């Protein structure tokens, strides 16, 4: 998993350059939407722009860094690792989401370990920069609130859909979630590996595998290309609603 030295997780990131938020063409989707261009002219600490390959650890739970990450493109998993080594994925976050926001609050360190699931294109924003922007532009606070509300909605869905009911239903919900939130332009989505699925639903890898294999056999889930899949949404919804 690349966490053997505690440092390796940075070496595989590709530095794209200093971020120029005032010229960012997707800013209206991001944390800094609605801030004027001028807001970024005198930043004390720069915002850097990176691309991380899949599997990269962006940060680890408990580590004391001071960066918020704004995801431009890609999927990041937030994982909790228990003392016994077992782990549970608490959220998947994609385009436009900001992670590490707990640092803006009470928290002195990250609450989760954040790992790139796909290639992830992101901006790394020092907490001090957020504070600077926030004091000049109180409106930023509203966007932080929106990010939090959004993540809270996702967390609630996680509890309701992925942590409730029989294994078959949970896995069906998971596939629906991938379809809904992470489909690409071609309408297909990456089918994450069984280990991650198990960590998302709280069931055993083998059980997840059985369900996915079953869906494939029933043609409810089928390969589009490479690791991209498509699914029969109605059929999966039907499975979910079978009490």
Q: Provide the binding-site residues for a second copy, judged by CB under 8 A.
A: 80, 82-84, 86, 88, 90, 101-102, 104-106, 111-112, 138, 141-142, 144-146, 148-153, 155-156, 158-160, 163-165, 202, 241, 243
Q: Give, as ranges, the residues between 176 and 215 that touch DNA (CB under 7 A).
A: 193-195, 202-207, 209-210, 212-214
Least Å distance, CB 238 to DNA, is 15
Q: CA triplet 142, 15, 143: central angle to 5 degrees? A: 5
| β-strand partners of 78 | 91, 114
Q: Does 88 bind DNA (CB under 7 A)?
A: no
Q: Which is nearer to DNA, 185 or 226 (CB)?
A: 226
How would you class 193 by CB atoms within 10 Å of its CB: exposed for 0-12, middle for 13-18, buried for 19 or more? middle
In terms of DSSP bridges, do strands 87-93 and 76-81 run parallel, antiparallel, or are they unpaired? antiparallel
Q: Which does 94 bind (CB under 5 to 8 A by kind): DNA, a second copy, none?
A: none
Work out which of 119, 183, 216, 235 binds DNA, going by CB under 7 A: 216
Q: Which residues contact 63 (CB under 8 A, 6 or more apart)?
A: 109, 110
Q: Does 77 bind DNA (CB under 7 A)?
A: no
Place of tokens 């722009």: 49
Least Å distance, CB 240 to a second copy, is 9
d(CA 169, CA 237): 9
Tokens standing for residue 219: 């043609």
Q: Which is nearer to a second copy, 160 or 213 (CB)?
A: 160
d(CA 70, CA 169): 32
How would you class 96 by CB atoms within 10 Å of its CB: exposed for 0-12, middle for 13-18, buried for 19 or more? middle
Q: Which is nearer to a second copy, 103 or 221 (CB)?
A: 103
Asked if 93 contacts 49 with a C-beta cutoff of 8 angstroms, the reply is no
Q: Which does 168 bind (CB under 5 to 8 A by kind): DNA, a second copy, none?
A: DNA
Q: Which does 101 bind (CB under 5 to 8 A by kind): DNA, a second copy, none?
A: a second copy
Binding stretches for DNA (CB under 7 A): 166-168, 193-195, 202-207, 209-210, 212-214, 216-217, 226-227
């Amino acid at each position: 998993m690349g966490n053997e030295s505690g440092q390796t997780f940075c070496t595989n990131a590709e530095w794209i350059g200093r971020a120029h938020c005032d010229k960012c063409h997707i800013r209206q989707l991001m944390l800094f939407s609605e801030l004027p261009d001028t807001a970024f002219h005198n930043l004390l600490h720069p915002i850097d722009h990176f691309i991380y390959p899949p599997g990269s650890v962006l940060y680890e739970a408990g580590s004391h860094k001071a960066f918020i990450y704004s995801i431009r493109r890609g999927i990041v998993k937030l994982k909790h690792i228990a003392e016994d080594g077992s782990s549970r994925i608490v959220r998947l976050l994609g385009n436009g989401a900001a992670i590490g926001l707990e640092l803006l609050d009470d928290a002195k360190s990250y609450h989760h370990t954040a790992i790139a699931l796909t290639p992830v294109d992101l901006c790394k924003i020092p907490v001090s920069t957020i504070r600077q922007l926030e004091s000049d532009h109180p409106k930023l606070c509203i966007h932080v609130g929106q990010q939090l509300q959004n993540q809270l909605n996702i967390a609630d869905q996680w509890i309701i859909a992925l942590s409730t009911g029989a294994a078959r239903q949970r896995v069906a919900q998971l596939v629906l979630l991938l379809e809904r939130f992470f489909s690409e332009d071609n309408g297909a989505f990456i089918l994450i590996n069984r280990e991650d699925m198990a960590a998302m639903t709280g069931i055993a890898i083998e059980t997840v595998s059985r369900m996915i294999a079953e869906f494939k056999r029933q043609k409810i889930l089928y390969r589009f290309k490479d690791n991209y899949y498509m699914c029969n949404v109605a059929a999966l919804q039907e499975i979910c609603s079978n009490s």
